[in-house]
Amino acid sequence: MFTEKDLPLHVQAYIEERKRISREQYKKQLEGKPVVSPERVLQTRREQQKTQPQRRLDCVSLPTSQPISTLDATGQNNQCSSTWEYECDRFETTRFSDCRNGSTCCINCNYYERNNMVSGSIYYEMGPAILAELIKRDVHWMRDPQALHWPVTKKAFDILMKDYIKNMPPVEDRTSCGIVMAGGGKYDAGIYVGIKMLRLTGCTLPVQVWHRGSNDEPISNAIRMLENVEVCNLYLDKRVKPARSRGGYQNKHDAILACGWRYVIFFDADVYPLQDPATLFGHFNGNGLILWPDLETTGMSLQYRNYDLDESDPIEAINTGHSVWDVTKSWQVLCLADFFDDYPEYYYQHKKGIGGFGDQDALRAAIKILKHPYTMFTKDHGYKPGMFVQKGPDGEDFWVHRCKSKFGPEKDWDDRHIATFRSDLPLEKEAWEYYKEWQKLVGAS
């Protein structure tokens, strides 16, 4: 049976806008205020748009065999004004009067596909379900910076989140165990030191290093030549699920999902173990996830309202520089955190009062939403100025997290992050010996 949902998105948007205007006018009628027909409201809006300054729209060169209506999301006939410029990857920047194929408007071009263009279609009062569809299809949907704070935007992301939870990927059948790291480029030295320090503890588990290709995050031969280390390209590896965008923080959960192992130890490129981390697999306590604490101030970055969570019942601060996973048992929380990573334009905007701080708040939100249990050996975050030294199950030092003093060429870091020798850190001499070894191998200073 054909329903309104079967209509094109821009037609649905127009119908929904008409309904909204009708509700507003009916409310005014009850209050004894002057009533204007929806047609007149839309006509006024069209007249206002004619006086607006020049704007740019993005067109795509995807062929379509479907006839496209010339009505846009506000119901107006979408013929171009000669002052409007269109950015098209087939015809470059053009106006309707000089379009290469003679089209009078992008919407009449044979290479134009409505569903792949968002610009001009989002507005403050649009329906959340339609906005959710547009967000899902285009990572550049948010042309208006204020859209981040629109009430409809939160509702749209609520729809996306609940739909994902309802249709979460099934648990994969996994075996074996290993170490997962992510990064490259300026983090190359840190990865090398981390792997060498891992072997110093006696750990022989295989290591996967996931990076964003040779252009974005190159991996040196110094790492590639290490024994039992596999370098994996997030762009090319078929084990990696498709992603809307890829950034540094976003890749951690992707790497854990793609590695194929059931039992996974993850640590960042500025982290290294002081004891054999394989021993941690015996300390899950039935929870399938081992985490470590962070500074209390860091825990304040999570904006609970953006996840439909109660702020009066907060989750403790979590440092995701290192974590231990039973992927099978923690599958849902891992997938949901990865979902949040997929929408950084919303869920990574804690400085603007939206979402949280990178992957660590993505994981905190997922744990809180799904009420997923986890093991934490201590509440002591072990922070030293610019560093964390965190404890293992026996209360002994287990991890060093160099969140400020990072290994690598000085040109790659600002003054706060340049590596300095810290005599107050355990195994500092050994770590620096491996760093100098990396420098020699890659010819860096």
Question: Domain residue spans in the chain?
Answer: 4-117, 122-167, 175-442
Per DSSP, 294 falls in state: -
- pLDDT at 214 (0 to 100): 86
For residue 120, the number of C-alpha atoms closer than 13 Å in the C-beta half-sphere is: 28
For 92-110, the pLDDT digits (tens) are: 444 444 444 444 444 445 4
What the block records as the tokens of 395 is 């209360």
pLDDT computed for residue 431 by the predictor: 96
pLDDT at 56 over 70: no
Class of 175-442 per CATH?
Answer: alpha beta
CA dist., res. 239 & res. 233, Å (int): 10
Task: Say yes or no to pLDDT of 1 above 70.
Answer: no
pTM score, whole prediction: 0.73
To 5 degrees, how large is the angle CA 291–CA 295–CA 296?
A: 105
| Whether 292 contacts 302, CB under 8 Å | no
pLDDT band at 254 (very low <50, low <70, confident <90, very high): very high
Residue 391 tokens, joined:
């404890």
382-428: pLDDT as tens digits: 998 889 999 999 999 999 999 888 998 888 888 778 888 999 899 99
Any bridge partners for residue 88, and if so which?
A: 59, 92
Mean pLDDT of the chain: 80
Residue type, 373: P
Output 406 or 67, whichever has higher pLDDT: 406
Residue 137 is encoded by which pair of tokens? 């299809």
Sheet holding 387-391, edge to edge: 271-273, 397-401, 387-391, 383-384
Cβ proximity of 324 and 373 under 8 Å:
no
Quote the CA–CA distance of 343 and 203 in Å, as a whole number: 36
Of the chain, the end-to-end C-alpha distance in Å amounts to 69
- Can you read off the two tokens belonging to residue 271? 């982290």
DSSP run (H or E) holding 192: helix 188-200
**311 exposed, middle or buried (CB, 10 Å; 0-12, 13-18, 19+)?**
exposed
- Quote the distance between the C-alpha of residue 290 and its chain's center: 22
